[in-house]
């Protein structure tokens, strides 16, 4: 019998792709929970539901976001944002595998910012945004309107006319990471750390929406493809849903 869930994870779903693991920020928390072996269940929310349900949990004003966790084992504590969540899990579940130590937190935060700025937002998001729109279903127009408001420009302007520009940028930004993986089995060194989960989560969006590009631009990268493939295989067991009986 599967253990009872200790954590409730609020994740983001696309109407026409239920159960698809794709959101980089929620992926960070999902993989951290999987790596630490903490039982959890998922509550899937559409974009409009994020705006209606998350403020009820966080009791905060401002733009509602996921991931959010509710820790059923510790007074139903609510934690929002993947960085705050991993810090919380490290502190409250000290007997689970560590993702950083007190001497490496700054380095992991720097790498998280690097992945967000140089890989995720600047490149991957541009490569997959049209695919995301196609899977938004009944929320397609709402999705376009809110994304354009967030971006400050039209979707067409953001994506641009030449996708090869984004492909080239991805290859360039992967190069320094590939150099690390030529020396160490993980980005964090000899064992998995938060940096590995951040990088995995950034690529997860590409895997979900453009698997062809993931294969061609990452796994078959001429400079470090072999290293990326071996690292991806080592990380693969943490790229999973929780047992189906947990999902609601």
- The model's pTM is 0.92
The helix (H) or strand (E) run that includes residue 81 is: none
- Residue extent(s) of CATH 3.40.30.10 domains in the chain: 7-100
Choosing among 3.40.50.300, 1.20.1050.10, 3.30.300.180, 1.10.357.10, the CATH entry for 105-238 is: 1.20.1050.10
Structure confidence at residue 152 (pLDDT): 94
**What per-residue confidence (pLDDT) applies to 245?**
35
CA 116 to chain centre: 10
CA-CA distance, 118 to 1, in Å (whole number)? 43
CATH 1.20.1050.10 residue window(s) in the chain: 105-238
Q: Is the dihedral of CA 181, 187, 188, 193 positive or negative?
A: negative
Architecture (CATH level 2) of domain 7-100: 3-Layer(aba) Sandwich (3.40)
Q: pLDDT in tens for each of the 248 residues of the chain?
A: 667 889 999 999 988 888 888 999 999 999 999 999 999 999 999 989 999 999 999 999 888 999 999 999 999 999 999 999 999 999 999 999 999 976 789 999 999 999 999 999 999 999 999 999 998 889 899 889 989 998 999 999 999 999 889 999 998 999 999 999 999 999 999 999 999 999 999 999 999 999 999 999 998 877 766 889 999 999 988 877 654 433 44
Residue appearing with tokens 């453009």: 210
- Report the alpha-carbon distance of residue 119 to residue 11 in Å, rounded: 22
């Amino acid at each position: 019998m599967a253990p009872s869930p200790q954590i409730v994870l609020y994740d983001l779903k696309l109407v026409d792709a239920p159960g698809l693991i794709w959101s980089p920020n929620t992926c960070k928390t999902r993989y951290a929970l999987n790596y630490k072996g903490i039982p959890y269940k998922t509550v899937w929310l559409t974009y409009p539901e994020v705006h209606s349900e998350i403020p009820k949990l966080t009791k905060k004003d401002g733009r509602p976001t996921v991931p959010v966790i509710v820790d059923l084992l510790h007074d139903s504590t609510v934690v929002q944002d993947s960085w705050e969540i991993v810090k919380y899990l490290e502190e409250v579940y000290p007997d689970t595998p560590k993702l950083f130590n007190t001497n490496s937190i700054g380095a992991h935060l720097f790498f998280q910012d690097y992945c967000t700025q140089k890989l995720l937002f600047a490149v991957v998001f541009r490569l997959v945004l049209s695919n995301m729109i196609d899977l938004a279903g009944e929320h397609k127009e709402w999705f376009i309107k809110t994304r354009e408001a967030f971006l400050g420009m039209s979707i067409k302007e953001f994506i641009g006319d030449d996708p090869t520009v984004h492909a080239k940028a991805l290859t360039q930004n992967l190069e320094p990471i590939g150099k690390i993986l030529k020396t160490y089995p993980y980005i964090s060194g000899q064992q998995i750390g938060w940096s590995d989960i951040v990088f995995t989560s950034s690529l997860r969006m590409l895997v979900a929406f453009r698997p062809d590009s993931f294969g061609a631009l990452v796994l078959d990268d001429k400079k470090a493809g072999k290293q990326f493939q071996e690292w991806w295989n080592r990380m693969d067991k943490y790229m999973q849903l929780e047992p189906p009986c947990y999902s609601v």
